[in-house]
Amino acid sequence: MAQGQQPLAGKRVACLAADGVEDVEYAQSRAAAEQAGAEVHLISLQSGEIQSMNQDIDPANRYRVDRTVDEADPADYDALLLPGGTVNPDRLRMSPPAMDFVRAFFQQQKPVAAICHGPWSLVETGMVNGRTVTSFPSLRTDIRNAGGTWVDKQVQVDNGLVTSRNPSDLPAFCATMVEQFAQGEDVRHMATA
């Protein structure tokens, strides 16, 4: 993309992920943000590298962690990306510092994008309450029980929160994520917890 086509130039995006992240969801979402001009940091539970997976079963790639969740400050970032995979968000939601990190983006009224099982972090933090979201279908009951409305759509936007169902939704998810991240300060979240 040329400079004029880089709507995220000068923006910093935090991508929160742990071992078990779905490789295509991490790699394609990160690439979309970077191609749009963003500086993206991989934030995780521990330093070193994380292991991505293909369809939750087969090891894929290893990715270097830029900062641990304990080292990262949400105030340093303009937006948050939450890729899925089943194991990744399950590990993240067991970490109070990781959930505090997620919650801070809503409290600071910054855009958030979550795909597949990524919305589990939103359930854990109470941030789906009163929102309409989509996700991998197995999260439907969790989202409803947490006070959210679940829809079966390729991409759903609710006040700066972008959600999608699965890897086949990545083209729409990435395009919408870039649009919402570019709006940045124009996005106003309703912090519910």
Q: Where does 55-163 have alpha helices with state H?
A: 87-93, 96-107, 120-125, 140-145
- DSSP code per residue over 133-168: E---GGGHHHHHHTT-EE---SEEEETTEEEESSGG
| Marked catalytic residue, from 15, 41, 117, 174 | 117
What 3-state DSSP class applies to 82?
strand
Annotated active-site residue 117? The verdict is yes
| Marked catalytic residue, from 15, 41, 116, 174 | 116
Nearest-angstrom CA–CA distance, 174 and 20: 20
Annotated active-site residue 41? The verdict is no
Give Cβ neighbours of residue 58 (< 8 Å, ≥ 6 apart).
none
Active site residues: 116-117
